[in-house]
Amino acid sequence: MTDTFTQDASFNDGETSEASRQYSYGLMDEAAKKEIRRACLRAVAIPGYQVPFASREMPIARGFGTGGLQITLSIIGPGDTLKVIDQGSDDSVNAVSLRSLIEKVCPGANTTEDSDEATIVQTRHRIPETILGEHQVLVFQVPYPDILGGVEMNEERRVQLHGETDYAKLYVALYEDVVRNGRITSGAGYPVEVNRHYAMTPSPIPRWDVPRLSMSHNLNLFGAGREKKIFAVPPYTEVTPIQFSDQRFSVESFLDRNGERIACARCGSTGSFLDEIYLSDGATTFMCSDTEYCRKNAEIVSPVPSGAVEFRSPIPL
């Protein structure tokens, strides 16, 4: 990722080379990428603070991951290895499309499905089960960057609340949740406090992933293209969920009726985040949401553990 930013800024699009089919490396011009990298640096310097940036037009619609895409395109270079996941899956439409787009506009950058191999992982709504290292960057696609959006409509007021670290309203929302439901029900996008200062949305990752943001070895960059904001959780930064001292944050437990931890139907893992999958006969089963982790795990555990069902696509292919 280093020393590749100043290279020759254009390339030919394979064999159909015409002057009109030329793109800059990483689709954006160098100045645009530099601006985004500067926003990222500022975000790293002030963990959890939402840095405004000039979100560019992308060849995909806003809301389809343009924030994450722009960050990835700004930091990627030849020699980098990219993994793209959508809800833990390497094979979903969003992940496949983004990956092939980046492959096309970033020659020299490799792609992979292996979390260990990747130098950059772009993700929508999950953190890979494999623990990332210091040499890796996790790029999140964020729909709504401001955690206060749900409790304060006026953006000017929200900026003020962040500035004064006045987060009573987030706790009030939590209070109301407990009053209504008897416990904290907030699922994805659980509010967190970064570095004991700014309140932040971890993007809609499940509660399962929230503790894994804290003191992570890797850099976490969050890009919201539609809302034009970038924020970051640098390595080894404390991320604490917002909670009451007697109503604690907890991760999804995945217990069955007998109170036992449900195992992935494919790889048998009992230590991963599970998706509930509807089978064609109407029954449901649980499988790892992280498909790459699941596949690797299944290979190690193989032969297929007894009682596990064979992998079937949830939708007819």
Partner 1 sequence: MTVFETQNLTRFYGVRCPRCLEKTGAAAGTNICPDCGTVVALNNVNLRVPKGEILGVIGESGSGKTTLLRYLYGVDFGATGSALYRNPSGEMIELGELDPAQRRRLRDREFGIVFQNPHQGLNFRISAGGNIAERVLVSGERNYGNIRERATLLLDRTGVPTRRMDESPAGFSGGMQQRVQIARALATEPCVLFLDEVTTSLDLSVQAKILDLILELHQRTRLSILLVTHDIGVARMLASHCIVMRYGQVVETGLMDQILEDPQHAYTQELIGASL
Does 178 sit near partner 1 (CB under 8 A)?
A: yes
Does 31 sit near partner 1 (CB under 8 A)?
A: no
Does 175 sit near partner 1 (CB under 8 A)?
A: yes
Task: State how far the Cα of 302 lies from the Cα of 296, in Å rounded to an integer.
Answer: 10
Does 176 sit near partner 1 (CB under 8 A)?
A: yes
Q: Does 264 qualify as catalytic in the annotation?
A: yes
Rounded to a whole number of angstroms, the minimum distance from the CB of residue 253 to partner 1 is 20
Does 172 sit near partner 1 (CB under 8 A)?
A: yes
Q: Does 294 qualify as catalytic in the annotation?
A: yes
Q: Does 106 qualify as catalytic in the annotation?
A: no
Query: For the window 87-116, what string marks contact with partner 1 as x by the rule CB under 8 A?
Result: ------------------------------
CB-nearer residue toward partner 1: 30 or 166: 166
Instruction: Return the residues of window 239-278 that contact partner 1 according to CB under 8 A.
Output: 244-247
Rounded to a whole number of angstroms, the minimum distance from the CB of residue 167 to partner 1 is 9
Does 164 sit near partner 1 (CB under 8 A)?
A: yes
Task: State how far the Cα of 139 lies from the Cα of 124, in Å rounded to an integer.
Answer: 9
Q: Does 288 qualify as catalytic in the annotation?
A: yes
Q: Produce one character per residue of 158-167: b if its CB has 16 or more CB atoms within 10 Å, e if not.
A: beebbeeeeb
Binding-residue total with partner 1 (CB under 8 A): 17
Does 159 sit near partner 1 (CB under 8 A)?
A: no
Q: Which stretch binds partner 1 (CB under 8 A): 55-63, 81-89, 170-178, 288-296?
A: 170-178
Rounded to a whole number of angstroms, the minimum distance from the CB of residue 211 to partner 1 is 19
Residue of 48, 68, 77, 268 with catalytic role: 48
Does 3 sit near partner 1 (CB under 8 A)?
A: no
Indicate which residues carry an active-site annotation. Answer: 48, 264, 267, 288, 294
What is the contact surface with partner 1 in residues (CB under 8 A)?
A: 160, 163-164, 166, 168-169, 171-172, 175-176, 178-180, 244-247
